[in-house]
Amino acid sequence: MATIFIDQRSYDVPDGMNLLDASLTLGFNLPYFCWHPALGSVGACRQCAVKQFRDEKDMRGRLVMACMTAAAPNTRISIDDPDAREFRKSVGEWLMVHHPHDCPVCDEGGECHLQDMEVMDQQTYRRYRGLKRTFRNQDLGPFVNHEMNRCIQCYRCVRFYRDYAGGRDFDAFFLRDRVFFGRQSDGVLESPFSGNLVEVCPTGVFTDKTLKLHFTRKWDERTAPSICVHCAAGCNTIAGERYGLLRRIRNRFNGEVNGYFLCDRGRYGYEFVNGPRRVRAPRIAGRADAAAPSDAVARAASPLAGGSGAIGIGSPRASLEANFALRALVGPDRFCSGMGAAEHRLVSEVLRLLQEGPAPAASLHDAAQADAVLVLGEDVTNTAPMLALALRQSVRQQPMKAAAALRIPAWDDTAVRNALQDERGPLYIATVAATPLDDVAAATMHAAPDDLARIGCAIAHALDQAAPSPRGALAADAALVGRIAGALRAAERPLVVAGVSLASQAVLDAAARVAHALHAAGRPVRIALVVPECNSLGAAMLGGCDLDDATALLWPGSPLIVLENDLPRRCGADRAARLFERAGELVVVDHTLTPTAERATIVLPAATFAEGDGTYVNGEGRAQRAFQVFVAGGDVQESWRWLRDLMRASGRGGAAAAWETLDDVTGALARELPAFAAVRDVAPPATFRIAGTRIAREPARYSGRTARDANVTVHEPEPPGDPDSALSFTMEGFQAQPPPAQPPSALIPRFWAPGWNSVQSVNYYQTVVGGPLRGGDPGLRLIEPAAPGAPAAAGRAPSAFEPDDRDWLCVPMYEIFGSEELSALAPSVAALAPRAYVALNDGDLHRAGLREGGDAVVASADGTCRLQVRRVASLPPGVAGIGVGLQGAPWMRLPDRARIHPAERDR
């Protein structure tokens, strides 16, 4: 720590921290633009000027940029100095030379950092008489709107897009007061993190294009803390609604998980909530009209009442509470996780590895901090996008030591990048085909799943002779295997990344062996295991059987209850149809009219993540609560409430039938299953109050509450109550504000601080700017490995993959846009989703007589399907990639062998 003096008062700050960071951490209002806690300092905007004095005798001082100046013992600065104020005000005036003076009608107004800073600078009068420069804007695709006339040339966008996220198709062009930030020509931004430009931009150059389709002011948004449901990373979000429409998703800072950023699937997938396929009223097959909830429940409950063998199929995309309620309704023995057999087995294996160890799970923050990484089998950009962004930062960890040796502070971003140039730490990627993260890898290997497992085993063997060595030739160079082992062993924070996306037990085993070998060598290894969905791990923790077992358990004619799950996606249309035929009543509780729901005898309209509270367990084992944002219209209620209603109507479920609130459910869950003991503490209970009041979902400036329904009634309707959380649905209650009255982290519905209306207000909620939220980052890890850790897996490494003359080994390939069920229902995401495809390398395309872009017929044991042909040069010979979950792709068991031939021959 260093004692510094700001305007002649002393403060203790970390030695070497830059003075802007320090000033903001201490709560001073010091304006800035180009600096960003995650991007560091570059000194471009010159807005954070302060006066620095040599010592206490120095009365003149000189202006320095706070962001570019390190705090040292006895540093003396003045923020309030007249010269500093004058200069900062001038910066404000310069920025307004070209910036439009249209704040009242600008869509960024009210959440614009520039607007806040101009107010802070007290820059109110316009002296510049000249013309403002104008640009031609670009169409950047369905996510990001471009309005360059607002640009203040702070360079944050290009620094995030290129330096931080590794994008290549976006840059700064031209010079002087006409720097253009965009693409070389119009076109969809290629980076899957492009949506962050919306939050990184301090003004309205880049805005959320989907919000524009149903725009509302920030202060008119009812918001709640939420969790992204589009992969297992569990990124924290702020979901905003008005007039019953979910308007947008923004980042919610969580230092352990997503930090300041989101992926585009997570930011833009939300529109399924507003989509035309939503179920908003109960449906009873054969009836044209919507059914009354009581009728639907009575009808669904009657076959259950007899105590017959109803089977409940849960879901890895539904909350813990919903799954647990289903389990209570049908009983643990007749509860199914909702996953297909292979997926259930692999996700359960992931759970076992995390529980038994020895390597603890890595958070996204841990992944970014790792200084040597092996990725085995997982195309993380497409299966857990934010993990890819974290790993992109991890390659900076080792070179940063060299920068430190040159006495360059880590926050001095340009200096660090100039010193390190292209030097990167050890990130080794072994996958079936090239991945978008390969550009920062020290080496990449592309091989069939078994060969990847063999590479993993060889690395484990190099680390620990006790691990089995694969026999025969390896798909990777022996020297490379040695280098990888050496880098992992030498690292201070080694990380192994794998997952279930290849559906390969061997790959998962091999990753575990590497982690085990590192642990045996005394290295503090962590492991990140990617699972498919937002609550995959939670569903696995609840136990239950897989879909195959459920089919076997189902007595013909017995009721089948499906919770938020579309079974053809899990086991194929044919098997699902057989299951449905076998079942008596098919009751589906879901928010979306899936093919399963279309087959149902009764559909009960469930709440989405935005319409009901729920707890989700991410891939790290972190339980996190998503809070209801608004009360959905119609008969929509939380799945667990529908299931509870079924318990009540059928006389089943025992004590669970008495559940009234979410806390009742989580309480029962914690009591019944010890693994979930902590789940009650994920967020404060519904009885929690600050100053005797709830926390308001609507901001203090929420407008029109008395006029909103005036066309219907002049009486203001009674606001809905919230029995499930400590949040209120209106503006009544505690308005979230930084200390001393900051809500608990899990209950912060939005970030706002006096004078800070933009996302940057999060600064004031953190212990140190850029660091964890005060009171700790939200979420609780439910899983920590038991000491001393399980023994290494027994058995040998798999034998090498042999390409077949006639068949191809089909393996799954994932798409960030299209492979995930719910986000693919959002129009913006769907616009970027590819057609269902089969991918082959050049030699195999030739061998199969296929043409890129043409159609192929893929014939496997599960039937034949017609897919578009894609060329992926990096695929190993004999291996075909099948795009998973895409529109028009029939289900097929993967991996599996299949014949592939041109569709023309079929005719």
Partner 1 sequence: MTDRPLTGRMREDGAALDLRAYERAGGYAALRDALRRLAPAEVQKRVKDSGLRGRGGAGFPTGQKWSFVPMGADAPHPKYLVVNADEMEPGTFKDRLLMERDPHQLVEGVILSAYAIEADVAYIFLRWAYKLSEARLARAIAEAYDAGYLGRQILGSGYSLELRLHISGGRYMAGEETGLINALEGRRANPRSKPPYPAVVGLWGRPTVVNNVETICNVPHVIGRGAEAYRKLSATGEGGTKLYGASGRVKRPGLWELPLGTTIREILEEHAGGMRDGVRFRGLLPGGASTDFLVDEHLDAPMDFESLQKHGSRMGTGTMIVLDDRTCPVGMIRNLEEFFAQESCGWCTPCWAGLHWVADILRDFEEGRGEMADLDTLAAHARLLAPGNTYCALAPGAAEPLQSGLRHFRDDFERHVREHRCPWR
Tokens representing residue 549 in the block: 């077992």
CA distance 556 to 581: 8
Strand partners, 239: 224, 249
Structure tokens at 22: 């320090």
Query: Which residues, 6 or more positions from 622, have their beta carbon under 8 angstroms from its beta carbon?
Result: 234, 256, 257, 363, 779, 780, 781, 782
Q: Which of 68, 62, 65 has its CA nearest to residue 81?
A: 62
Distance in Å, CB of 455 to partner 1, minimum: 33
Q: Which of 207, 360, 182, 263 is nearest to 782 (CA)?
A: 360
Smallest gap from Cβ 829 to partner 1, in A, equals 34
Between CA 593 and CA 153 the distance in angstroms is: 46
CB of 133 to partner 1, least distance (A): 8
Instruction: Supply the minimum distance, in Å, between the C-beta of residue 421 and partner 1.
Output: 4
- Which of 508, 530, 550, 606 lies closest to 337 in space, CA to CA? 550
Q: How far is the CB of 423 from partner 1 (least distance, A)?
A: 8
CB 428 to partner 1: min, Å = 24
List for the chain the helix, strand, coil content (%; round to 5). 35, 20, 50
Cβ 436 vs Cβ 381: under 8 Å = yes
Q: Are the CB atoms for 181 and 137 separated by under 8 Å? A: no
The one-letter amino acid at 161: Y
Measured from the CB atom, the residue of 162 and 648 that comes closer to partner 1 is 162
**By three-state DSSP, how is residue 737 classified?**
coil
Q: Which is nearest to 33 in space by CA: 15, 49, 18?
A: 49
Q: Rank residues 181 and 729 by Cβ distance to partner 1 and give the closer one.
A: 181
Work out how close the CB of 43 gets to partner 1 at its nearest, in angstroms, rounded to a whole number.
5
Nearer of residues 412 and 450 to partner 1, judged by Cβ:
412
Q: Which DSSP string do the residues of 447-515 spell out, in sequence order?
A: --HHHHHHHHHHHHHHH-TTSPPPPS--SS-HHHHHHHHHHHHH-SSEEEEEESTT--HHHHHHHHHHH
Provide, rounded to whole angstroms, the least separation between the CB of residue 202 and partner 1.
Answer: 12
Cis peptide before 293 (omega within 30 of 0): no
**Pick 128 or 243: Cβ nearer partner 1:** 128
Closer residue to partner 1, CB minimum distance, 64 or 810: 64
Shortest Cβ 407–partner 1 spacing (Å):
8
**Between 15 and 356, whose beta carbon lies closer to partner 1?**
15
152/235 with CB nearer partner 1:
152
Cβ distance to partner 1 smaller for residue 419 or 573: 419
Burial label for 212, CB within 10 Å (0-12, 13-18, 19+), is exposed
The whole-angstrom separation of Cα 857 and Cα 672 is 50
Least separation, in Å, of the C-beta of 443 and partner 1?
22
Q: Which is nearer to partner 1, 418 or 693 (CB)?
A: 418
> Cβ 460 to partner 1, closest distance in Å?
35
Q: Which residues bind partner 1 (CB under 8 A)?
A: 42-47, 49, 62-64, 68, 86-87, 90-91, 94-95, 97-98, 127-130, 152-153, 155, 172, 174-179, 406, 408, 412, 414-415, 418-421, 423
Of 118 and 815, nearer to partner 1 (C-beta) is: 118
- The residues, ordered by sequence, that sit 6+ positions from 199 with a Cβ below 8 Å of its Cβ are 250, 251, 260, 261, 759
Nearer to partner 1 by C-beta: 123 or 444?
123
Which residue lies nearer to partner 1 by CB, 422 or 802?
422
Mark out the alpha helices in 17-121 (DSSP H runs). 19-25, 82-98, 113-121
**Residue among 530, 470, 532, 521 nearest 494 (CA):** 521
What's the closest the beta carbon of residue 630 comes to partner 1, in angstroms? 41
Q: What are phi and psi of 470, to 5 degrees?
A: -65, 140
At closest approach, how far in Å is the CB of 179 from partner 1?
4
Minimum Å gap between C-beta 412 and partner 1 is 7
- Rounded-to-integer distance, Cα 121 and Cα 468, Å: 66
Asked whether the beta carbons of 2 and 71 are under 8 A apart, the reply is: yes
- Reading across the β-sheet that carries 245-251, which strands appear in turn? 222-227, 236-242, 245-251
| Of 34 and 329, CB closest to partner 1 | 34
Residue 242 has phi, psi (to 5 degrees) of -150, 145
Kindly state the smallest distance separating residue 545's Cβ from partner 1, in Å: 58
Nearer to partner 1, 64 or 840 (CB): 64
Q: Which is nearer to partner 1, 131 or 794 (CB)?
A: 131
Sign of CA dihedral 850, 501, 225, 253: negative
Provide the token pair at 882: 């099948």
